[in-house]
Amino acid sequence: MKFKILGSGAGIPSKSRNTQSYILDVVEELNQYFLIDASEALQHRIMSTTIRPAKIKHIFITHLHGDHIFGLPGFLSSRAHQGGEGVPLYIYAPAGLKEWVELTLRTSASHLNYPIHYIEVAHNMEFDADGFKVKSYLLDHAIESYLYVFIEPDKPGALKDEQLKRLGIQPGPFYKEIKQSDTFEFDGQIYNTSEFMNPPTEGRKVAVHGDTRVIQHPDYLDLVDGSDLIVHEATYLDGEGEKAHLYYHSEMSEVQKNFSSISYGKLIFSHISNRYDQEQINSISSTLPENMLLAYDFMEITIPRDSQ
């Protein structure tokens, strides 16, 4: 599993940062990608990668500000000609997105050759995305904005080969039958499969935020706790907490402080204002702990199992 940043900027693109779009790469797990937000020039960003648009089957929109959705109609139109014919697409978004997309496509005489299923998101909902559990949480922003938490299913443990061999069961097709059954019979005796299985490997957890103020509610912190990767906005990096709060955004040190009571693998600060030049970014980055990173366009993070 990998997390890829197609755009890491806030509000207005700059020469070095496009606005927010992310890819959760689950090709190894599901042979597809999850797209989170669709900023302007999304198609061009994808062309600079090896991502195949037809393999994007689930899109999660955090909120309806333009810097998070202006690239969506163009992407949808191009996907129709890039292997997407007949491949259903699911779009999860706050109320209003479906109306806007359909109006845009209709006005521009754009026609799709695949079905779109729109799922209207609300607070504390849970979705199934081809086996991944996805939870939504309403954030604190000027308009309705959401956190999406992606939870991979646990991976079943391997069979205890040596234990089976001691019974006289050698490796072969019967091992597959055992693994797929609650019980199995051998030499006239019935055994519980669980006694011959190693513990499952816990699925990975990725928490991706839309625009928001810092939230200290216990329910929110419990939801984010244990994430292998947290992606949180840090429109402000340099101590302007009051200004961030005024404009419904977050300041980096306040996010760090808020997460000091929970466990997580890596924390990426993104949605960074274009006020900061590269020299400032480098200076701030050098002060961060090893597991905290400032996002940049085309950054790629591998999320290993047991990454915490």
Does residue 146 share a domain with residue 270? yes
182 is catalytic: no
Q: What number is the average pLDDT over the span 149-174?
A: 93
Does residue 176 share a domain with residue 49? no
**What does the alpha-carbon distance between residue 270 and residue 280 come to, in Å, rounded to a whole number?**
15
Beta partners for 116?
Answer: 89
Model confidence pLDDT, tens digit, residues 19-31: 999 999 999 999 9
Q: What number is the average pLDDT over the span 186-214?
A: 95
58 is in an annotated binding site: no
Region of residue 139 (phi > 0: left; psi between -120 and 50: alpha; otherwise: beta): beta
Model confidence pLDDT, tens digit, residues 201-227: 899 999 999 999 999 999 999 999 999
Total tally of structural domains belonging to the chain: 2
Does residue 131 share a domain with residue 29? yes
- Contacts of residue 297, Cβ cutoff 8 Å, sequence gap at least 6: 5, 6, 7, 8, 9, 16, 17, 18, 45
- Per-residue burial over 19-29, b if 16 or more Cβ lie within 10 Å, else e, is bbbbbbbbeeb
**Confidence label for 307 from pLDDT (cuts 50, 70 and 90):** low
Residue 221 is part of which domain span?
A: 2-155+205-302
**Residue 182 pLDDT exceeds 90:** yes
Does residue 180 share a domain with residue 279? no
Cβ-based burial of 237 (10 A; exposed 0-12, middle 13-18, buried ≥19): buried
65 is in an annotated binding site: yes
Model confidence pLDDT, tens digit, residues 96-117: 999 999 999 999 999 999 999 9
**What does the alpha-carbon distance between residue 172 and residue 37 come to, in Å, rounded to a whole number?**
46
Give the Å distances, CA to CA, from 300 to 22, 256, 283, 294: 10, 21, 21, 12
Q: Which of 67, 187, 219, 238 is catalytic?
A: 67
111 is in an annotated binding site: no
67 is in an annotated binding site: yes
Does residue 144 share a domain with residue 54? yes
- Contacts of residue 180, Cβ cutoff 8 Å, sequence gap at least 6: none
123 is in an annotated binding site: no
Residue 161's nearest CA partner among 175, 180, 144, 182 is 175
